[in-house]
Amino acid sequence: MKEPIINVEHLVKSFGNHEVLKDLHFSISKGEVVCVIGSSGSGKSTLLRCINGLESLTSGTIHFQGESVGRGEKELNKFRANVGMVFQSFNLFNNMTVLQNCMVGTRKVLKLNPKESKERAIKHLKQVGMAPYINAKPAQLSGGQKQRVAIARALTMQPQVLLFDEPTSALDPEMVGEVLQVMKKLASEGLTMVIVTHEMSFAKDVSTRTIFMDEGYIVEDDIPENLFENPKNPRMREFLSRYI
């Protein structure tokens, strides 16, 4: 077994006295594509936010490439640069062009010079098919295009792992396909990804592992063939039946 990039042990997260994540164990190794499925409120977003340091842990540990991630701001910033995140609502800067959106992180955080930053932005915009739109503002783009720009922006940081929180849930149905296609391409290029999604056929097709969460627990963590074809857990069976 390879050394995991991220290893989470005994993760507990509470908001007040509401325990949202209950003693979770989770790891991801290089090249894995892990889809996380489960009902609304089961803790999927909170898990991603804990993994990339947007939420503090109530208890438990996270190791990144074998090293324990502390809670200091400097350490967390370094960690976050290695763990990218793509959100449901894109979170682009609306007053900036597509190119500017894809340069901010590498300029401000990685301190690349303008030339390197621009070259890197263009490289990743090409990767998602958005290079023709470098001078457009987000308001001029469709939802699918905005999400592809957000993915390119995340890639410019060259993260070790990219986390996606329902990247297609805010899109009109006709735009879901173009974003899933880009994510499929990234998977085939070997990017390590954790994807919270309600797109069951995508999870089945693209994931190397799928995790089913229910009420703060990881109930199943298996290859998609087992999980979708032969779900053992009754809650998982009931959840899947809603998608048929």
Return the C-alpha torsion angle 56, 155, 132, 139, nearest 10: 0
What single string gives the DSSP state of each residue in the chain?
A: -PPPSEEEEEEEEEETTEEEEEEEEEEE-TT-EEEEE--TTSSHHHHHHHHTTSS--SEEEEEETTEE--S-HHHHHHHHHHEEEE-TT----TTS-HHHHTTHHHHHTS---HHHHHHHHHHHHHHTT-GGGTT--GGGS-HHHHHHHHHHHHHHT--SEEEEESTTTTS-HHHHHHHHHHHHHHHHTT--EEEE-S-HHHHHHH-SEEEEEETTEEEEEE-HHHHHHS--SHHHHHHHHTT-
The one segment of 3-11, 37-45, 59-67, 209-217 that binds Mg ion by CB under 5 A: 37-45
If we measure between CA atoms, which residue out of 21, 34, 20, 39 comes closest to residue 238? 39
Nearer to Mg ion, 133 or 202 (CB): 202
Which range, of 42-50, 61-69, 75-83, 91-99, touches ligand ADP by CB under 6 A? 42-50
Chain-centroid distance of CA 54 in Å reads: 13
Nearer to ligand ADP by Cβ, of 41 and 114: the residue is 41
Q: Does 45 bind ligand ADP (CB under 6 A)?
A: yes
Which one of Mg ion, ligand ADP, none interacts with residue 114, CB within 5 to 8 A by kind? none
User: Does 197 interact with Mg ion (rule: CB under 5 A)?
Assistant: no
In the numeric block, which tokens belong to residue 111? 């301190």
List the interface residues with ligand ADP, window 110-149 (CB under 6 A).
none
Task: Count the residues of the shown chain that bind Mg ion, applying the rule CB under 5 A.
Answer: 2
Contact between 43 and ligand ADP per CB under 6 A: yes
Of 39 and 100, which CB lies nearer to ligand ADP in the complex structure? 39
Binding to ligand ADP (CB under 6 A): which residues in 8-37? 15, 20
The answer to whether 40 contacts ligand ADP (rule: CB under 6 A) is yes
Segment contacting ligand ADP by CB under 6 A, of 39-47, 66-74, 77-85, 113-121: 39-47
235 binds ligand ADP (CB under 6 A): no
241 binds ligand ADP (CB under 6 A): no
* Nearest residue (CB) to ligand ADP, 79 versus 212: 212
If the CB atoms of residues 44 and 124 are measured against Mg ion, the closer one turns out to be: 44
- Among positions 46, 106, 117, 145, the unique one binding ligand ADP when judged by CB under 6 A: 46
Binding site for Mg ion (CB under 5 A): 44-45
